[in-house]
Chains A and B, each alone.
Chain A
Amino acid sequence: MRRFLARRLAHGAAVIFIAVSLSFLLLHIAPGDPFSATLASASIDPATLAQWRTAYGLDRPILEQYIRFLGQAAVGNFGPSIRYHQPVADVLAAAIPQTITLMGTALVLSFGFGVPLGSWQAAHRGTTTDRIAGTASLIVGSLPEFWLGLVLLLLFAARFPILPSHGAVDPMHDLFPLAERVIDRARHLVLPALTLALLSSASIARYQRATLLDVLPQDFVRTARAKGVAERHVLWKHALRNALVPTIVLAGLSLPALIGGAVFVERIFSWPGMGSVAVEAFAGRDYQLVAGTTVAGAVLVVAGSIVADLLHAVADPRVRAR
């Protein structure tokens, strides 16, 4: 097990190294540099500019800049964000937990709804309800995130104002007592997480249904039936056991898409996560910040997939032996 973990960590480290190098490459083949793209004050004279360039090492040979970049990235230093006037690391440190919270909740909700739905569909396959559920999830899964998010926002924050329309917490959150703080966070999470979860649970239900139908050996069912055990009982037991492994795999695979999909949802709901930060970085032509978000996204995905792989290995011993 430890060897497996070590191998996975090494693999993860290699992936992150490549992602960081890729960011550096992009930064350098792009036109302009962080200082030509935006200048907050027009009257900064060329001499000061040149000073800044030297201070940030932009006039050193590229190999030296690369080593420096790697070293700084290793400790999470991506330089200053010209959009936020803070170090990129600080901006990311504030944003990443927000994205993880949103992601995590959406993941739990979508599996919590999708797996039982898919299993139920498999148990009742061919019936009208199965077909209706299948069509519904096909349609729901085809909706663009920003569209669904907007509809939900208008329904539940404007038309029937029962939920907040923006942010992760109320502006006065810190002053609430503990119970209210929990409720406040939950209220703000509902709409954005629901948007993401609705979309994911559609695919998960489809996948779960198909996997169950694939995986359930017919003779196993026949044997069980011969033994007098209800087919549905067998199905549910099998569903739970077999759901675990592909579910974990699916969770790992869907991480990049989830983190990416959050960008639009975060924008609609003003959720202060990495997606919002990336969009702001784009608006402000903030090179350093954009490099930081890319690497941060990769790190999150790698971390998530290592966790998924670990869980997979725990659940399925065959994996460890590979």
Chain B
Amino acid sequence: MGGTVITGLATDVAQLIPPMIQQVEEKIVADQIFEPLVMSGDEDRLDTGFRPAIADRWSWERDSMAVVFHLNPSARWHDGAPVRASDVRFTFALYTDPTLGSQERPALSRIDSVTVRDSVTAVFWFNARYPQQFYDAGARMLIMPEHALASLPRATLQTSTFARNPIGSARFRLSKWTTSSIELVADTTNYHGRPKLDRVIFVKVADPNAVVAGLSNGELDAGEIASPQDYQKLSAHPALRSHMLPAWDYAFVQFNLADPKRRTQPNRLFGDIALRRALTMAIDRKTLVASQFDSLGTVAVGPMTHAQTMADTTIAIAAYDSLGAATLLDSLGWKLPAGKMVRERAGQPLRFSLVVPSVSPNRMAMAVRLQESLRRMGVQLDLDVMDAAAFTARVARRDYDAAFNGTRAEASIAGLKAYWTVAGADDPAGRNSANYRNPKFDAHLDSAIGARDITTARAHASQAYSVIIADMPAVWIYEPRTAQFTHKRIRTAHVAPTAWWRGLADWSIPEAERLPRDRIGLKMAAR
């Protein structure tokens, strides 16, 4: 038992309230402190491979319209209080509270309610039967303690003391949180058994160069590397091991199909599918991706990644054809006036702005490449750069023309529901910020989610993907792969491809290979 793992995070973690998690860095830390009722297996299969977490067994009732979770009676919160079924009910209420706006809310919509049968038994009641019921009920939500949160006003939850001092039930506890690092220590009396490591420290490292320097000189034990040059450099390092993670992110330029000021009106530019097609044809995605990523990235194939089981990578996206794009633009009336660089139609230039989050160096660099690509086509692209929170807010308010968005895919196709269905578009607080409306897509998507078996589900998913790709509400650009580097003294028991951080509690460092900082031990952790 022992050892310290220091890893770098690209951005600050602002708060750790599970339903309000927006960024992957927050998820990485929260997953160490909180746990769901059941853990999905490493492969993140939606129908099988689940392991007990807070719940130690479960059973179905009412012909699969209800699932009963029996909580581990020795489950305890970090402050010593026992974990009860009422905590589960309370957690569900928070996740489905509209004022908190959880990203998981649409996926939980088929759960009607959660009831308490006794202090260790919680029952989930469903509106409908569908293959992912169990996943949605058991694996999505990180359970929170009612006794610590119930009295706090929901509106200011993000700035509450709990947000900076979370109490969970998982194998790590929060020990210290400063502006530059978050320290977690092993929960030695945890009912799962204490983790093999003593502590995990997440350090904020803003500069990608500093991450490389940190991994090189041993300041950092683990980190994700996205750049091909850095990957090559660190691969040669004798003390580091690398693990290529399959791509679970995809980045795309989404168009706002509606007018930013008046949602009922189509966008002056992007309401027209022909223009969207012309722009898609004008972008040589293959060359752009090759230039930026070398082998560390592939061209995106739609709102999915190759790693997803439901993905259908055979659907054709409008191919790069600069001549065809130019002809199409001409035919639409966007012509290049003599001596000018930007196409015009009725005196209006073909010009729009792309909102880009500065926190993603990949998207920033790709945006500059896109700018030039489009400039050669006579299209002027202005870049509007802002940080992650401002970007999320702009996009959510639908106050943009084009946004360079990125999504971390989840194993289930249900992840698309919030972002591309009509309901999401109509709801002013919904996440369909592109205002994409196609009932056919919705129908196929629902069929895929509700299908009885995998083959039918895939067939419906395929059709759903075909519809949305043909509608071109976005230009799907790249799937970046990252490499997870770890110091070779660390034994990573298993690395879940979808979330490398999930197995941190099982990482260990053999006694013989420990560094001085591994030997410090827990005696001082009480500070």
Contact = CB atoms under 8 A, between A and B. Distances in A.
Nearest to A267: B206
A321 B429 CA distance: 68
18 contacts: A38-B389, A39-B393, A40-B22, A48-B155, A51-B155, A82-B389, A83-B14, A84-B14, A153-B213, A161-B218, A164-B217, A166-B205, A170-B219, A171-B201, A171-B203, A174-B176, A175-B520, A270-B206
A150 to B, nearest CB: 8
A171 B181 contact: yes
A164 B216 CA distance: 11
B106 to A, nearest CB: 11
A267 B210 CA distance: 11
A45 B101 CA distance: 10
B103 to A, nearest CB: 9
Interface string A140-156: 00000000000001100
A268 interface: yes
B389 A284 contact: yes
Given A171-B201, A267-B206, A283-B358, 16 more contacts: A40-B393, A42-B397, A43-B396, A45-B429, A94-B179, A158-B213, A161-B213, A165-B213, A166-B203, A166-B205, A167-B180, A170-B219, A174-B527, A175-B520, A284-B390, A285-B390
A41 interface: yes
A272 interface: yes
Contacts of B387: 283-285
Given A39-B393, A41-B100, A172 B210 contact: no
B207 interface: yes
Contact of B159 (A85, A165, A166, A174): A85
B82 interface: no
B389 A83 contact: yes
Interface in A255-292: 267-268, 270, 272, 277, 280, 283-285
Contact of B98 (A43, A86, A154, A272): A43
Given A172-B520, A270-B180, A270-B206, A165 B214 contact: yes
Interface residues of A, number: 45
A80 interface: yes
Interface string B211-243: 011101111000000000000000000000000
B99 interface: yes
Interface in B1-54: 4, 6, 12, 14-15, 20, 22
Contact of A91 (B22, B179, B429): B179
Interface of B: 4, 6, 12, 14-15, 20, 22, 98-101, 155, 158-159, 163-164, 176, 178-181, 183, 201, 203-207, 209-210, 212-214, 216-219, 358-359, 386-387, 389-390, 392-393, 395-397, 429, 431, 517, 520, 524-525, 527
A157 B207 CA distance: 14
Nearest to A40: B389
A44 interface: yes
A42 B392 contact: yes
Contacts of B212: 158
Q: Which 6 A-B pairs have the closest CB atoms?
A: A42-B396, A43-B101, A161-B217, A283-B387, A43-B429, A165-B213
Nearest to A43: B101
A164 B214 CA distance: 8
Contact of A85 (B158, B203, B204, B393): B158
A1 interface: no
Contacts of A80: 159
A268 to B, nearest CB: 7
A37 interface: yes
A85 B163 contact: yes
B20 A40 contact: yes
B358 A44 contact: no
Contact of B178 (A39, A94, A158, A284): A94
A95 interface: yes
Secondary structure call for the A interface: loop
Looking at A82, A94, A170, A171, which has the most chain B CB atoms within 10 Å of its CB? A171
Interface of A: 37-45, 48, 51-52, 80, 82-86, 91, 94-95, 153-154, 157-158, 161, 164-168, 170-172, 174-175, 267-268, 270, 272, 277, 280, 283-285
B164 A158 contact: no
Contacts of A161: 213, 216-218
Contacts of B527: 174
A171 B218 CA distance: 12
A32 to B, nearest CB: 11
Nearest to A277: B179
Nearest to A46: B428
Given A45-B98, A94-B179, A153-B213, A37 B390 contact: yes
Nearest to B396: A42
A120 B270 CA distance: 70
A39 to B, nearest CB: 5
Given A94-B179, A171-B203, A172-B520, A280 B12 contact: yes
Contacts of A84: 12, 14, 179
B217 A157 contact: yes
B396 A165 contact: no
Nearest to B203: A171
Given A42-B431, A51-B155, A171-B203, A95 B101 contact: no
Nearest to B359: A283
B155 A52 contact: yes
B491 to A, nearest CB: 20
A42 B393 contact: yes
Contact of A40 (B14, B204, B217, B431): B14
A95 B176 contact: no
Contacts of A157: 213, 217
Given A84-B12, A85-B15, A85-B158, A43 B179 contact: no
Contacts of B206: 267, 270
Nearest to A268: B207
Looking at A38, A86, A161, A283, which has the most chain B CB atoms within 10 Å of its CB? A283
Nearest to B520: A175
A5 B525 CA distance: 46
A101 B42 CA distance: 47
B213 A40 contact: no
A272 B201 contact: no
Nearest to A47: B99
Contact of B207 (A85, A174, A270): A270
Given A84-B179, A94-B178, A270 B393 contact: no
A124 B141 CA distance: 75
Contacts of A45: 98-99, 429
Contacts of B207: 166, 267-268, 270
Contacts of B179: 84, 91, 94-95, 272, 277
A82 B14 CA distance: 9
